[in-house]
Amino acid sequence: MEITACHVAKGRPREFDTDSALTAALRVFWTKGYEGASLSDLTEAMGITRPSLYAAFGNKEALFKKTLDLYQREKLDYMGKALDAPTARGVAERLLTGALEMQMSSCDPKGCMGVINSVACGTEAESIRAEVLQRGALVKQGLIDRFERAKTEGDLPGDTDVIGLTAYLTALLQGIALQAGSGTSCTDLKALIDTSLSCWPSK
């Protein structure tokens, strides 16, 4: 049904590229958030009409989740790779510098798509909020597991509070995203990360 790449299209072929349209939608959601992005904003940026959007992506919520997938796949890949660092400190280093590099990219919107959409808004977006929070919880759990492993490997002190350390690092990343989205300069962000790394409790 969904995957029609193997079939030859029977009727009139689609006149726009779904991927580039999705990328355009991502930029809109990224800068304006789910509720702040109207269908007019989206269709204008995507270069398609409303019925085309609904035919191709379902509705606004489904479109958002597809852009969220794209965002995680293309923009948050450094997070997965960070967990492969040999030490806990290396993980933190890759995460912090990865977040910084992402905010330095001049062609992308500032801030974090996840952070923007995890704050409370109207009741209509409650399911959106839940979705974003759930994905964030998965990332957090990955960090907890990684730090737990670091503890057994002797990489972190045996009395380390892994929950606390994870919440601490997560808070830093969230704060970075927030400040990046609020106009904090790149030099200030770099100073933030340098300070964070100089504070990190393991070698």
Partner DNA sequence: TACATTATGTACCGGTCATTATGGAAATCA
Partner DNA sequence: TGATTTCCATAATGACCGGTACATAATGTA
Identity of the residue, 49 or 185, whose beta carbon is nearer to DNA in the bound complex = 49
Identity of the residue, 59 or 105, whose beta carbon is nearer to DNA in the bound complex = 59
Identity of the residue, 61 or 93, whose beta carbon is nearer to DNA in the bound complex = 61
Residues 6+ apart with CB under 8 A from 164: none
Among 1, 2, 11, 138, binds DNA (CB under 7 A): 11
The site partner of 51 among DNA, a copy of itself, none (C-beta below 5 to 8 Å per kind) is DNA
The site partner of 174 among DNA, a copy of itself, none (C-beta below 5 to 8 Å per kind) is a copy of itself
CB of 18 to a copy of itself, least distance (A): 26
134-164 core/surface letters (b: 16 or more CB in 10 A; e: else): ebbeebeebbbebbeebbeeebbeeebebee
CB of 10 to a copy of itself, least distance (A): 40
70 lies in the binding site for a copy of itself (CB under 8 A): no
The DSSP code sequence of 90-141 is HHHHHHHHHHHHHHH-TTSPSS-HHHHTTS---GGGHHHHHHHHHHHHHHHH
Could you say which residues in the range 95-134 bind a copy of itself, by CB under 8 A? 111, 115-116, 118-123, 133
